[in-house]
Amino acid sequence: MRYFLGLDLDPTIKLEIDHWRSKALPKFQCPTSVSNFHITLVFLGDVDDLILEQLSKLISTIKAVPFSLTLNQLGFWSKPRILFLGAEDVDKKMHHLVSQLTHVANQCNLHIPKRPYIPHVTLSRKMTSNPAAAIIQPSFQCHFDQIHLYESVSSYSGVQYLIRDSWSLQSEKYCK
């Protein structure tokens, strides 16, 4: 089973992003389903139940606080052929959370590769080229107070990202 740790977007924000995508960008061959909009924090890969149990216990000990992120940049990665919505500025709290989650995953022998973290929402896959600039500039304010363990489930209708576990981020007064 393939898993990742991530952030779920508020349903209203998901619909606003989808509306913006349909108005500001051309139609895509492989658009990401609105229900699959999320921000990955750490990709875990194939994980067995024993490791998931260990990971869950360690995540529950993490001290991290809620934070906000403004999705306001359109980006394109040519090698994976992904069009995404990213953030110009990323809160230090978010980087700290990703660092802690990566450390926990490595403690569980999942060996997360070191690479710069770029928070993003995938808008479309299998892009042949970077589309023209958006007609309307994106700006979506997101607030996060939970992290989730997602399972990637393949079916005839495509991939679904299902939340399997969740942890609340604590207010700053509890994280000192």
One-letter identity of residue 94: M
Residue 82: its pLDDT value, please? 92
pLDDT in tens, 127-162: 887 777 777 889 999 999 999 999 999 988 788 999
What is the domain-level CATH number for residue 70? 3.90.1140.10
Q: Is 25 exposed, middle or buried (0-12, 13-18, 19+ CB in 10 A)?
A: buried
- Given a cut of 80, whether residue 2 has pLDDT beyond it is yes
User: What is the chain's mean pLDDT, rounded?
Assistant: 92
Distance of CA 10 to the CA centre of its chain: 13
Residue 172: its pLDDT value, please? 56
- Contact, 128 vs 72, CB < 8 A? no
List CB contacts of 61: < 8 A, sequence separation 6 or more.
none
Q: Is 38 exposed, middle or buried (0-12, 13-18, 19+ CB in 10 A)?
A: buried
Give how many domains the chain has, as a whole number. 1
Residue 171: its pLDDT value, please? 62
Average pLDDT over residues 92-106: 96
Domain that holds residue 129: 2-174
pLDDT tier at 175, thresholds 50, 70, 90: very low
Q: Map tokens 């393939």 to a residue.
A: 2
